Amino acid sequence: MSRATSRLVLGTVLAAVLAGCAGKDLYQTSQGFRRAQCERILEADRRADCLRNADRDWESYERDRERARR
């Protein structure tokens, strides 16, 4: 990730936290960024996997996250 992109992500996260966004809101807000990153992948299979992951809904994300914590 480039320095400018890292700053953009950090700024977005910081702004969301300061604005009081809930985890779900932050997750949904970042989906567009994740999709854009996936579009940069040249290999079709890897790009499709990335997009599938980027398009996961909040409930699926939370369920997987809770499983990983256990």
For the chain, the domains span: 3-69
Highest mean pLDDT among 3-17, 21-35, 50-64: 50-64
pLDDT band at 21 (very low <50, low <70, confident <90, very high): low
pLDDT of 19 strictly over 60: no
What is the pLDDT at residue 44? Answer: 97
In this prediction, residues 18-34 reach a mean pLDDT of: 79
Confidence of residue 65 (pLDDT cuts 50, 70, 90): confident
8 A C-beta contact, residue 39 and residue 47: yes
